[in-house]
């Protein structure tokens, strides 16, 4: 069974701080990695995708991928109360680009 592990949280940070969210995965064949944000009762929204080792930045968000360590992370700089949500890590199953395995999510709370 391919697994994606995330700390369930809650992770609490003050407004303006950096929030760091982590994810490990078991399938060495995984090729694509995604971070979704999900507000309570709403659908997941794609915020970052990363496909190669290293960092990828988009505004206040930075995704980091280390395939050797099977580790992917999301950094949120200058955290805002509106960033308070559950963050889901998703990884394509080995060799495929059409089936994602999701972690159970990390609940982030940004305190004003």
User: Does 51 participate in binding other proteins (rule CB under 8 A)?
Assistant: yes
DSSP secondary structure, the chain, as one string: ---EEE----EEEETTSPEEEEEEES-TT---EEEEEE-TTS--EEEEEE-SSEEEEETTEEEEEETTTTEEEEEESS--GGG-EEEEEEEE-TT-SS-EEE---EEEEEE-
User: Does 88 participate in binding other proteins (rule CB under 8 A)?
Assistant: yes
43 vs 69, which CB is nearer to other proteins? 43
Between 2 and 41, how does the x/- string for binding to other proteins read (CB under 8 A)? -----------------------------xx-x------x
User: Does 54 participate in binding other proteins (rule CB under 8 A)?
Assistant: no
Residues at the contact surface with other proteins, assessed by CB under 8 A: 31-32, 34, 41-46, 49, 51, 88, 90, 92, 96-100, 102-105
């Amino acid at each position: 069974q391919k697994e994606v592990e995330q700390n369930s949280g809650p992770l609490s940070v003050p407004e303006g701080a950096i929030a760091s969210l982590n994810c490990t995965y078991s399938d060495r064949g995984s090729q694509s990695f995604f971070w979704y944000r999900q507000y309570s009762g709403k659908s997941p929204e794609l915020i970052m995708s990363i496909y190669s080792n290293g960092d990828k930045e988009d505004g206040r968000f930075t995704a980091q991928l280390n395939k050797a360590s099977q580790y992917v992370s999301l950094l949120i700089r200058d955290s805002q109360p509106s960033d308070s949500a559950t963050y889901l890590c998703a990884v394509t199953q080995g060799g495929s680009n059409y089936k994602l395995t999701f972690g159970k999510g990390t609940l982030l709370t940004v305190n004003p």
